[in-house]
Amino acid sequence: ERKMNQLLPVLLLTAGALLAPTEGQEEYDKLPDDFKIGVDWALETFNSQMNNKLLYLFFKSQTRSEKEFGFSVSHIHHHFLLKATRCPTTTADPSPKKCAFRNDRPQVDCMVCYQTYSGAIEDHPKPYMHCVRRQALTQEMKDSRHQHCEETKKDYSPGQLVSLASTGLHSS
């Protein structure tokens, strides 16, 4: 019985190590496409920073919302976490299966807000992204994020598309 008690933590750690690498990928795979493009944008931007030696991958969503305006236009607001992996940033075709997550590095807290049209991020209103190591995130940063995201939502008027469409109909 004593040997069994000693083996139990080893078995649990082994099982956890086998399950953990796919955790972020499963979460990513569950995201709708309009949210994946924002995560991809944040990953590409964050991983390309010169001071990053380790590759970061999507770990999990904190909150997310989508407001559909019609005409294939949506406003996306997504708060999520990135987590360091054991792979260098130069790794080709990274995935949690290939690059296991590390638990000895701080998670990165990201917020993205943008408008999509037919599955692509629009340039207007200007998309917003903010990623910072979690322990460095302040209330002031959180407030600033919220303000930026509200501004991207206000910059869009659903009537813009309707008036453009109707203008096109009248010009013969």
User: What average pLDDT values come out for the chain (172 residues) when binned by 10 residues?
Assistant: 48 41 82 96 92 94 93 94 95 89 96 95 94 97 95 65 42 39
Structure pTM? Answer: 0.78
CB 151 within 8 A of CB 63: no
Backbone angles phi, psi at 59, to 5 degrees: -110, -55
Ramachandran bin of 67, using left for φ above 0, alpha for ψ from -120 to 50, beta for the remaining angles: beta
